Structure 1
Amino acid sequence: MTAGIGRRSVIKGIAAGGAAALVAPSIGARAQTTLRINAGMQPIMNGPAHIAFREKYFEKLGLEVNFVKFTSGPAQFAALAGGQVDLAWGGVGPFLVANANGQDLQFTSVLMDYNKLEMVLVPKDSPIKSMKDLKGKKVAGVQGSDVHYGLWKLLLAHGMSKDDAQLVGMAPPQQVAAFNARDVDAAFIWAPFATPLVDAGARVIARNSDLSPGPAFLGWAGRRPWLDKNADAVSRLLRGWNMGLDKMKQDPEMAIRYTLDFTGMAREQAVAIAKDLDCFNSTAALDPQSIVHWSKGSKLHAMLGDFLKFGLDIGIAKNLVNIDDYIRTDVMQLARKG
């Protein structure tokens, strides 16, 4: 992050493994220090963030945001480690696994419930009718992601073991290709990548929302040292998110329009996704009544402890780490104070 006097500017896209960058310029003719954040973003329905960007809410808060596009959370780990992005967007679980592998990451806030939009799909003519029918089958999915953990939990819920189905690790675009080529028996995939498959006749046999709670709670994570030094910038980002969320509630069509511009998805996809997507105020984890309340003993805390155990059991997490301070309630408190 850098600081400077606010002037209208454009930042070149940063080199992050082929990621694409989109920049919100700083406010012109405003005598204030402007803070800058390079933030990872996935090509999903993210109305509050896109509205805050396009309606210049971040600018009004003295923040210059550079969104960098990735297709999954794990794809951003290297960019975080190399300092190519300051924050990465994804699920609370995968970033905890990266933390257990030495990246010293923390989650800034829980902003989105994506569980209904992560689904196990099978071809329309497949004999597979339920999770039990996946025994001995190949399931495409992102290794170490919410869907990897979800597959394990859903198998257990149906009286099976994690070894009864084989996860074939691949990124979402490759999952679509493998699914259509029948190289796999099923895909545990998220929207928007899942949406055209469903439109073409693929059947949903399970979702992460079948779990209580599901693992797909999304937001931004960053390296602890960077977050310690830049809590003010992150609090401005969260306040901008809240402004975007309020505007989205007033004008849902704006969220769809700006999502299409960033992601390139079809309008029908965005409309369908919006129906199953829940977004939270950036301070929701401070609320004991919220589904994403964060404290020792909360449901979210228990789920993340289980996610870490899963990672250790299958060998994708190397170390047992203390999760009590994993989600930064201090940054949320700062955002709440404004």
Structure 2
Amino acid sequence: MKRIAIVAAAFAAMLGAAAPAQAEKVRIGYWSSGVSLGFGAVLESGKFMEKEGLEVEYVKFPDVNAPTKAMAAGGIDFALGAPAAAAMSVAADGLPMSIVLATQVAELDFVVPDDSPIKSMADLKGKKIGGSPAGSATAAIASAVFEKNYGFASSDYTLVPGNDPRLAQFLVQKDIDAAALRTVTLALVKDVKLRKIGSFREEWKTLSKSDAPPVLGVGLMRNDWLKANPDAAAKVVAAMRKCFEFGKSDKAAVAKALIDAANMKEDDAKAYAALWDGIYTVSMEPADVASLKAEFEVFKSVSAVKGDLPDSALPTAPYEASKSIK
């Protein structure tokens, strides 16, 4: 009997060794519009997560703040472009999620109709200004710019929320006086004559006294999943990094992914793809952590966030571990 037991145990061990390793599962969420759409489309079509051995489920949301809310409810494990302000806010509040990557740079311009009498940012006092909804990083950055650079109180202008195509339409209809629009959008609305009066990069440089551009989107990860799957977390970051590098080197493939995923016209997809290098980033170097902390303090100064952002909310382990994944 003892020998039979030994043989059975050895046979079971052989079966276990022969069985393929079970793929680690990850649920990835992103906003199905705005800048998140482009990266998400290329990430999915290129199967970058799957190539790292992950079993992935993509969940797309119609609202920019929805991925963060879904993560708080345990519905997803990773958000590839969560609004920086909202992500910082939930982390400061102690919700169990962490910022593991900077993923999007705030490449936006303040624009007005070409025939508008508005000549400068200072002329926006008392005006209707279109932008992303409250809770978004875009809204928080714009609020900080108006208050710190121009002395505007929140009562000195009216924020009209909406997505970029809608805001461009509002400008044409003269329903708003100005808008903060992404450079991607401006490249696509060729038939609308708009005039730039300022940019997020330059205004942020003045505000922060730093050359680092403001971070618009971050990679947000659920703490329970991160703790239970440290190796998979590194694979997620590795897939993000490889997708970013792929997009930099193959603009035609980016355009094709946008045509297929977003039903975008070829010319529009090519214009979007050409901006890839400037609107995306996949990094969590010490400089990125410092920039995120500085951004939090700016947001806090205009009451866009509260509390303190602990170091534990900005773990760099997944990013560092991803560097060894070839």
Q: Which band: TM-score by shorter chain? A: 0.7 to 0.9
> Which structure has the bigger radius of gyration?
2
Please tell me whether residue 207 in structure 1 is matched to residue 194 in structure 2: no
| Distance in structure 2 (CA, Å) of the matches to 1:184 and 1:305 | 30
Whether 1:133 aligns to 2:128 is no
Instruction: Return the alpha-carbon distance in structure 1 between the equivalents of residues 184 and 48 of structure 2.
Output: 26
Give the drift of 1:63: 1.0
1:330 matched to 2:314? The reply is: no
CA distance in 2, matches of 1:322, 1:191: 30
The change in CA–CA distance for 1:31 and 1:214 in structure 2 (over 3 A counts) is same
- Amino acid aligned to 1:179: L
C-alpha deviation, 1:140, in angstroms:
1.9
Whether 2:308 is the aligned partner of 1:321: answer yes
TM-score normalised by length of structure 2: 0.77
* Equivalent-residue separation in structure 2 for 1:48 and 1:246 (angstroms): 11
**How far apart, in 2, do the equivalents of 1:214 and 1:157 lie?**
16
Give the AA of the match of 1:208. F
Q: Alignment identity in percent?
A: 23
Structure 1: distance between partners of 2:201 and 2:146: 14
Q: CA 1:180 to 1:281, structure 2 compared with 1: closer, same or farther past 3 Å?
A: closer
Is contact 1:41–1:68 with CA below 8 Å preserved after alignment? Answer: yes
Query: Which residue of structure 1 aligns with residue 265 of structure 2?
Result: 266
Shift of 1:135: 0.6
| Match status 1:80 vs 2:71 | yes
Deviation at 1:235, TM superposition (A): 1.5
2:146 to 152, 155, 168: 155
- C-alpha distance in 1, partners of 2:76/2:314? 19
Give the gaps of 5 or more residues in structure 1: 1-29
Partner of 2:112: 122
With over 3 angstroms needed to count, the CA separation of the structure-2 counterparts of 1:222 and 1:132, relative to structure 1, is: same
The Cα shift of 1:195 comes to 4.1
Give me the whole-angstrom Cα distance separating, in 1, the residues matched to 2:160 and 2:96. Answer: 28
Q: How many matched pairs?
A: 294
2:179: which partner in 1?
A: 187
CA-based RMSD: 2.9
User: Deviation of residue 245 (structure 1)?
Assistant: 2.9
Task: Tell me whether 1:62 sits opposite 2:61 in the alignment.
Answer: no
Matched AA of 1:293: D
Which of 138, 143, 166 is equivalent to 2:134?
143
Deviations 1:196-229 (A, max 9, x none): 4454112222221112244334332133233222
| Structure 2 residue identity aligned to 1:332 | Y
Unaligned runs of 5+ in 2: 1-18, 206-211
Question: Retained in 1: the 8 A contact 2:188–2:272?
Answer: no
C-alpha displacement at 1:51, in angstroms?
A: 4.0
Alignment deviations for residues 20-69 of structure 1 (CA, whole Å, 9 cap, x no partner): xxxxxxxxxx9231122221223337666544432333222111223333
Q: Measured at CA, do residues 136 and 198 of structure 1 come closer, stay the same or move farther in structure 2, by a change above 3 Å?
A: farther
- Match of residue 41, structure 1, among 30, 49, 52: 30
- Map 1:268-307 onto structure 2 (within 5 A): 268-276=267-275, 277-278=277-278, 282=282, 284-286=283-285, 288=286, 292-294=287-289, 298-307=290-299
* Number of the residue aligned with 1:223: 222
Gap change, CA 1:153 and 1:268, over 3 Å in 2: farther
Q: TM-score, normalised by structure 1?
A: 0.75
Paired amino acid for 2:88: L
Check the 8 A contact 1:34/1:62 in 2, yes or no: yes
Q: Distance in 2 between matches of 1:234 and 1:206?
A: 38
* Structure 2 SS opposite 1:325: helix
The one-letter code matched in structure 2 to 1:335 is S
Paired with 2:63 and 2:47, the residues of 1 have a C-alpha distance of 26
Distance 1:216 1:110, change over 3 A: closer
Q: Is the 8 A contact 2:235 2:322 kept in 1?
A: yes
Q: Is 1:169 aligned to residue 165 of structure 2?
A: no
TM superposition shift of 1:254: 0.9
